A and B are shown apart, each in its own frame.
Chain A
Amino acid sequence: MYAFDFERPTTLDEAVAALGTEEAQALGGGQTLIPTLKQRLAGPAKLVSLTGIAELRGVCIADDGAVCIGGATPHAVVAAEAAAHYPALAALAGNIGDPAVRNRGTIGGSLANNDPSACYPAAALGSGAMIRTNIRDIAADDYFQGMFTTALEEGEIITEVRFPVPQKAAYVKFEQPASRFALTGVFVAKYADGVRVAVTGASEEGVFRWSEAEAALSSDFSAGAIAGLAVDAENMIGDLHGSPEYRAHLVKVLTGRAVTAAG
């Protein structure tokens, strides 16, 4: 690791000020960023830890019923506290990494990083979540802008993620056997005004919505409704774990499984 200064503010205002300097970077739970620093793939002049800010932690329910999760809330807390309100989201959080990783890794960190194989981006996009920052609200549809790319500006902090609760939902991932990252994962959510299908792990463009499946499932919410659809392998990730065609195939299979799991 290259050397850096370290700050651990206790209020959002202090964090914003600390991030206002040159080459400063926010640190969530560090479960991705610390390994990245160890490999010298990042070299910030200053790290600003967000884990000491009480107002960024916790799960609550908004007046409209949406599940609101503080940006620095660890996965284990979401798994426990969102379970009664949004089971599919809680189950997704409870299957990220391993128990020790879930005690540190945060939702804000995951969404800010936007790893193409991460689970949370599928939940946020599949739920049409609102990503709230210290300066604005960003709809999930506008937030994800490609692999490791988001709408966040320099120094912008995710303060809360607001998930509208669907009638039914499920997330199914096909785990890469060694890393347990999603080789491909599909989040399906049925709302009163239609179905959303978000896919992670598959595309070179990062998380995306499968609009043909959304249309088919909105008129018939059953695994059979997507039987006639095909997923284009163009722009799918190809690596030693799976070809683009394999991932395209997984998208369809996992979407069907997610619909069945959602019930």
Chain B
Amino acid sequence: MTKVTMTVNGKPVSGEVEGRTLLSQFLREGLGMTGTHIGCDTSQCGACVVHVNGQDVKSCTMFALECEGAEVRTIEGMANADGSLSTIQQAFQDHHGLQCGFCTPGMVMTAAALLEKNPKPSEAEIRDYLEGNICRCTGYHNIVKAIMAASGQDVGAIAAE
């Protein structure tokens, strides 16, 4: 076992891990932060997306020891300081961007990464950026709508399906 130290949602954390311990496993089992979901565990579904040093990554396909000294942000760090939902989270609720909710942590983290790089994405750009996030409930439509709304854009143009 090796000691790993990183910052998660602004808080310094550390733990003993094996070389093969995945970041997703360290977050969930080591730190008890189960907001990061493991869907496929094969880097296809994106439910486990977190930010490492500002970059969106699949935490099931990265070792905890690769995050030594890194700044990690998870879904638990997305709400506002007073506990209210962030703009993106609120938009997912307002536009019914989730049904079962399993993919939502990854969707929100991916959406946040997109909006940091591209504050006013087009519908096509949003759909393209969601390539690595799978939702089996919504058909994506309301997720795209929520991200459009979260970026302050008019969603009237997106027709209902």
Contacts and interface: CB of A to CB of B under 8 A. Distances in A.
Contacts of A100: 43, 46, 49, 56-58, 110, 132
B65 A97 contact: no
B58 to A, nearest CB: 5
B113 interface: yes
Interface in A49-102: 49, 51, 76, 97-101
Interface stretch (A34-42, A182-190, A219-227, A232-240): A34-42
Interface in A179-228: 180
A4 B55 CA distance: 26
Interface string B51-93: 0000111100111011010000000000000000000000000
B119 interface: no
Contact of B57 (A6, A8, A38, A104): A104
Interface residues of A, number: 25
B56 A103 contact: yes
Contact of B66 (A38, A49, A180): A49
A3 B20 contact: yes
Interface of B: 2, 18-20, 22, 41-43, 46, 49, 55-58, 61-63, 65-66, 68, 110, 113-114, 129, 131-133
Interface of A: 1-6, 8, 30-31, 34-35, 37-38, 47, 49, 51, 76, 97-101, 103-104, 180
Given A5-B19, A8-B66, 13 more contacts: A1-B20, A2-B20, A3-B18, A3-B20, A6-B19, A34-B61, A35-B43, A49-B65, A98-B133, A100-B132, A101-B58, A104-B61, A104-B62
